[in-house]
A and B are shown apart, each in its own frame.
Chain A
């Protein structure tokens, strides 16, 4: 049974979301403040004691929280090496908030008030996407991209003896490009498939993620040879 951690301080919303997630067959754990959420999700530096608790498959995270806000929580999680998918909920649905959330490391974003079926679909989607990103691509778990070797099952990228941990979104973006190697993938398609966002959304999130991938893959990230920009259209992973 997938386990969802719900971080929400508004009791009514927390109770309502919990009721619906449990009906859909999830095990739900609720936390009402930011500091306790970080304690649960971001392990402290090695050496200190950490009561990990049961593994969480998805975090549903509110932005306005007492103690520590949602953006900071995702950042701390990612810094601490926790790559559990995060769905952010917030009353502030402005485009810049969406972008801030995604850049902080959230995987999906839903403005309040939301439609219940949409929330449940996003939750299902994130858990499924995690499985999809993990599944071997064209039968192979390990894919060679330039000098690097990508392990989609483990969300890892190895290059020259160094191992880099990929976030769910980085892995998904890279997988989409690998599956369509040699072809141009449009920005709109990336937004839709990777971010679940409307293709018209004005955001630099895709460009930022491409920059991050280039830093992992390219010899020189400023003059990319593998992950090419097709001006005005999108991106292409060069054939080898």
Chain B
């Protein structure tokens, strides 16, 4: 609690500093212009137009420009900091909510079981609810830890693994987590596709994509996950949903840490804004790329992970399945 309030103290947006910065730039520009008019060789009131004066004028102008460029740079940096600060405050808010809500629910049900007479049917229902809360808590903790673990770090020890199998496993996990019917998430692709990589990290990445696809679906969940290898030695995983999609203006930001669509107090979807950031960190660690595309709001989204390091199908079949299981 103390840490959260400490973070919150610095979360007030520092927009007024940006305003001061812009004001300073305006003053500097005005000063430069005024000085140019007054000090220009041959301007009103200047007595001699000697070479020394021309040199002084030249260097003076240069220094003024330097001053303005410096100010502009500082304001740009400040602007970036302010934006990060804002996203961080959203993140604190989101994580607080994501951690405290399941804790509050667990406490409420524990209290209820302790203070009330509860019949066996209800009791079983309460236990189910509590188990789901623990899973949600665990998922948030894993997300926060993954974000710290996979940031700016290449995969230390790429091993052969079966990407097709990994993808099918993530489908199973997702169907289970959200209690979805089998046809809600369809797998398309070969029975096996061998690549070199970190199986656990890649599983986290694909799971995050599927998680988002479910979360941002509309009433009916309809997701396709496709896996394929191409002639350039690249393996691809594509997750397509038919959910709320996004606009062109949102696309550039979605892989940014803590970015979430909309304001945090009016949150309509659970999450911390770390999911896609983690996906990108993991894919970058594999020297791969991730792309996102959406035809527009309400028209679904498509995410594609492309990884180099496609392996020949025959070699080391044993090691691959082991890595995929890990």
Which residues of B sit under 8 angstroms from A12, Cβ to Cβ?
102, 105, 109, 129, 132-133
Known: A92-B96, A94-B8. A13 touches B265 (CB 8 A): no
Interface assignment of B14: CB less than 8 Å from any CB of chain A: no
Which residues of B sit under 8 angstroms from A91, Cβ to Cβ?
96-97, 100-101, 104
Smallest CB–CB gap between A121 and chain B, Å? 12
Pick the contact of A64: B102, B103, B265 (CB < 8 A): B265
- Proximity string of chain A (63-98) to chain B, C-beta cutoff 8 Å, 1 when within and 0 when not: 111111101000000000000000000011110100
Per the bound structure, the CA–CA distance linking A151 and B122 in Å amounts to 47
Known: A34-B266, A91-B100. A113 touches B5 (CB 8 A): no
Please provide the chain A residues from 108 to 164 with a CB less than 8 Å away from any CB of chain B in the complex.
Answer: 112-117
Per the bound structure, the CA–CA distance linking A92 and B267 in Å amounts to 14
Interface assignment of B1: CB less than 8 Å from any CB of chain A: yes
Per the bound structure, the CA–CA distance linking A91 and B109 in Å amounts to 17
Per the bound structure, the CA–CA distance linking A100 and B27 in Å amounts to 38
Asked if residues B266 and A67 are in contact (CB atoms below 8 Å), the reply is yes
Per the bound structure, the CA–CA distance linking A16 and B129 in Å amounts to 10
Chain A residues touching B, range: 20 to 34
Asked if residues A19 and B112 are in contact (CB atoms below 8 Å), the reply is yes
Asked if residues A16 and B97 are in contact (CB atoms below 8 Å), the reply is no
Per the bound structure, the CA–CA distance linking A99 and B199 in Å amounts to 48
Smallest CB–CB gap between B44 and chain A, Å? 56
Which residues of A sit under 8 angstroms from B133, Cβ to Cβ?
12
Asked if residues B103 and A113 are in contact (CB atoms below 8 Å), the reply is yes
Asked if residues A20 and B112 are in contact (CB atoms below 8 Å), the reply is yes
Pick the contact of B265: A23, A69, A96, A115 (CB < 8 A): A69
Interface assignment of A10: CB less than 8 Å from any CB of chain B: yes
Asked if residues B115 and A117 are in contact (CB atoms below 8 Å), the reply is yes
Per the bound structure, the CA–CA distance linking A32 and B109 in Å amounts to 19
Which interface residue of B103, B107, B111 has the most chain A CB atoms within 10 A? B111
Secondary structure type dominating chain B contacts: helix
Interface assignment of A15: CB less than 8 Å from any CB of chain B: yes
Secondary structure type dominating chain A contacts: loop
Interface assignment of B138: CB less than 8 Å from any CB of chain A: no
Asked if residues B105 and A13 are in contact (CB atoms below 8 Å), the reply is yes
Interface assignment of B182: CB less than 8 Å from any CB of chain A: no
Interface assignment of B268: CB less than 8 Å from any CB of chain A: yes
Interface assignment of B47: CB less than 8 Å from any CB of chain A: no
Which residues of A sit under 8 angstroms from B116, Cβ to Cβ?
20, 23
Per the bound structure, the CA–CA distance linking A115 and B106 in Å amounts to 11
Q: Which B-chain residue is minimally distant from A65 (CB atoms)?
A: B266
Which residues of B sit under 8 angstroms from A38, Cβ to Cβ?
none
Asked if residues A117 and B266 are in contact (CB atoms below 8 Å), the reply is no
Smallest CB–CB gap between B47 and chain A, Å? 62
Question: Which A residues have a C-beta under 8 Å from some C-beta of B?
Answer: 10, 12-13, 15-17, 19-20, 23, 33-34, 63-69, 71, 91-94, 96, 112-117
- Not counting A12-B132, A13-B101, a sample of 10 additional A-B residue pairs whose C-beta atoms are within 8 angstroms of each other reads A16-B112, A16-B129, A17-B108, A20-B108, A91-B96, A93-B1, A96-B8, A112-B101, A113-B106, A116-B115
Q: List 27 A-B contacts (CB under 8 A).
A: A10-B101, A10-B105, A12-B102, A12-B109, A12-B129, A12-B133, A13-B105, A16-B109, A16-B112, A19-B122, A20-B108, A64-B267, A65-B266, A67-B266, A68-B266, A71-B265, A91-B97, A91-B104, A92-B97, A93-B1, A112-B100, A112-B101, A113-B104, A115-B107, A116-B107, A116-B112, A117-B115
